[in-house]
Amino acid sequence: MAALRASPIAWIETTNDWSGGRKDEDRVIVGVPKESYPGERRVAIVPAVIPNLVKAGLEVIVEAGAGEQAGYPDEMYVDKGAKIVPDRAAVFGSADIVMQVLCYGSNDVTGKADLPLMRRGQTLIGFLRPLGSAEIVQEIAQAGVTAFSVELMPRTTRAQSMDALSSMATCCGYKAVLLAAETSPRIFPMMTTAAGTITPARVFVIGAGVAGLQAISTARRLGAVASAYDMRPAAKEQVQSLGGRFVELPIEAQNAQDTRGYGTAQDETFYARQRELLTRVVAESDVVITAAVIPGKKSPVLITAGMVKGMAPGSVIVDLAAERGGNCELTRTGETVKVDGVTIIGAINLATSVPYHASQMYARNVSTFLLYMVKEGKLQLNPQDEIIRETMITNGGEVVNARVREFFKMPALATAGS
């Protein structure tokens, strides 16, 4: 294993403009391990972004075979200036910054095996699911790494090019429609044939966030009639801009979205009325795609068993909220079931089913984020910067993210000088 390296981080104090940290002239090493979550085919960095990292003064090492399943063989990385190392331990042992898709936290199957490979002062960037488990977040903190969770990227214009969560949601919305089209016994587009005219399939999307909007767009491209519902009034214009029909219900949510643009949890009275009003629309649809997710909370049930029973045989539900319990009462996480003639797809991690472009999008987002923090070949972190402050989960052995601490009811951290 390569010798352990000192921390490459220089902290910027906005008050007195001092910076400290590593003083040697070694190049900061960015390491890319192969994803270990079962069935995961994406890779955190693709060859195309490596020249930008090298230009910024960084060195890139990649575990052998890390990009193979996504369509990026080792030779492509070498051609772009990366070095191939034999195994995971070599990546963690040499890298100052480790770039992953599913870090421990979002990878609750095999991710814990990375903990003993981490070292104090190392930087970790990827999906960490920071609102999933307080215990896991604290374990990552205790490993001494400075961990950045890309799903907490602010939804601002300045951070748009770093928004990996939206990129992966785009992949999921696209693939959900393809799954539905493959499963449905109906043809999606209207066709004029020798046997007469075939009417287009009716696709109904519940939850018009990034995934939902991509589902509408893809359904329209396949020739289906698309409609959508979202409790956020602002979604209406977005749905209509894609050629979808916005379903309006005579019910109003309280504080429908948070400051980051995500839907907020409502009380059971609201959801009960919502389900009642959606029953007819669901029954009239050939395909229903649900994408209503509340960050850090169980997904609200929007389709009951009774509503499924009212759908026509051969109908399809694709539940993009399956990982959080599902928007359909009958969804089974990671499984496809058939109830009363209706197929309910509870697939998770759909982005990995289009690994080439999902990896390309993710790599562009996270490399942009990394380069945002690199100055003169070193990682320089300004804790007053919103992008850095909002995404940094752990540092110096502590959980430092205010939102995460509040969510898990951890006591507030003492501020400097208190």
Quick check: 285 and 314 in contact, CB under 8 A?
Answer: no
Q: Is 215 left (phi over 0), alpha (psi -120 to 50) or beta?
A: alpha
Type of residue numbered 156 = T
Q: Does 166 qualify as catalytic in the annotation?
A: yes
Catalytically annotated residue among 262, 271, 356, 372: 262
User: What single letter denotes the amino acid at residue 283?
Assistant: A
For β-strands 245-246 and 146-149, DSSP reports them as unpaired
Residue from 133, 160, 240, 384 carrying the catalytic annotation: 160
Assess whether 362 carries a catalytic annotation.
no
The single residue of 96, 114, 163, 319 carrying the catalytic annotation is 163
**Token output for 88:** 């995971």
Q: Are 128 and 103 contacting, i.e. CB atoms less than 8 angstroms apart?
A: yes
Q: Who contacts 174 (Cβ-Cβ below 8 Å, separation ≥6)? A: 214, 215, 218, 354
Residue 324 is among the residues annotated as catalytic for this protein:
no
Identified catalytic residue from 27, 155, 273, 403: 155
Angle at 377 between CA 375 and CA 378, to 5 degrees: 70
Query: Is 262 noted as a catalytic residue in this protein?
Result: yes
Bridge partners, residue 227, by sequence: 204, 245
The DSSP secondary structure of 144-194, one letter per residue, reads T-EEEEGGG---STTTGGG-HHHHHHHHHHHHHHHHHHHH-SS-SS-EEET
Task: Confirm whether 229 is a catalytic residue.
Answer: no
Task: Check 94, 100, 149, 166 and give the catalytic one.
Answer: 166
Alpha carbon 222 to its chain centroid, in Å, reads: 25
Q: Measured between alpha carbons, how far is 355 from 353 in angstroms, rounded to an integer? A: 6
Count of residues making up the chain: 418
Question: Would you please indicate which residues are annotated as catalytic (active-site) residues?
Answer: 155, 160, 163, 166, 262
